Chain A
Amino acid sequence: GNSVTQMEGPVTLSEEAFLTINCTYTATGYPSLFWYVQYPGEGLQLLLKATKADDKGSNKGFEATYRKETTSFHLEKGSVQVSDSAVYFCALLTGTASKLTFGTGTRLQVTL
């Protein structure tokens, strides 16, 4: 079946540090890949997406590239801010099912 594996958190960084959150997946077919972000006490917000191999999704300074050869979709940001503190979820969607399959989430804490 489909599955998503994310790096364990929490990840603690100082403001302006470089961020990488690893995500790898197992899926049948050719999935679409997503990053969602959940701020404290809120719902999930779609952060970025990529629908085919080598696509790069980007939004608000975050980027992720769909790597079919390594089945990965790592999230990166060049310079994090305190306001980026949240839980980040990697997810996939395949043509065989409409449901999103989520990773366990990675908590990011950014300090001054």
Chain B
Amino acid sequence: DSGVTQTPKHLITATGQRVTLRCSPRSGDLSVYWYQQSLDQGLQFLIQYYNGEERAKGNILERFSAQQFPDLHSELNLSSLELGDSALYFCASSARDNYEQYFGPGTRLTVT
């Protein structure tokens, strides 16, 4: 158990809908990262937050957004969902920038 929690574990929704994925980092970790894992793209970095502020952006679509709250949990919002958004979404946390990252169990999103 990494100490990073993610909910829900599975999510099935229809095209055009909006969903929110939630992540709680390990106790004391200030950085939260979101990654997408798909069969065709592999593991791709989406976005990083550090202590409530956006720190780095990767291959994140404009339909996707994230935030980190004062209690350090983070949410990833995915809107106008398309079939191609079906993937595993992982959250990771680290104590500080450029330090080892610990991953949560992931949320499997299926868009039908």
Contact = CB atoms under 8 A, between A and B. Distances in A.
Report if A and B associate in a common complex.
yes
Interface of A: 32, 34, 36, 42-46, 49, 89, 93-95, 97-102, 104-105
Contact of B102 (A42, A46, A95): A46
Interface of B: 2, 31, 33, 35, 42-43, 45, 48, 55-56, 58, 90, 92, 94, 97-98, 100-106
A45 B98 contact: no
A95 B43 contact: no
Contact of A93 (B2, B58, B90, B98): B98
Contacts of B2: 43, 45-46
Nearest to B57: A99
B56 A43 contact: no
A98 B43 contact: no
Majority SS at the chain A contact face: strand
A105 B42 contact: yes
B42 A45 contact: no
A54 B38 CA distance: 33
9 contacts: A32-B98, A42-B106, A43-B105, A44-B90, A44-B92, A46-B101, A98-B55, A98-B97, A100-B45
Contact of B56 (A95, A99, A102): A99
Shortest 7 CB-CB distances between A and B: which pairs? Answer: A99-B45, A102-B43, A44-B103, A43-B105, A43-B103, A98-B97, A43-B106
A99 B48 contact: yes
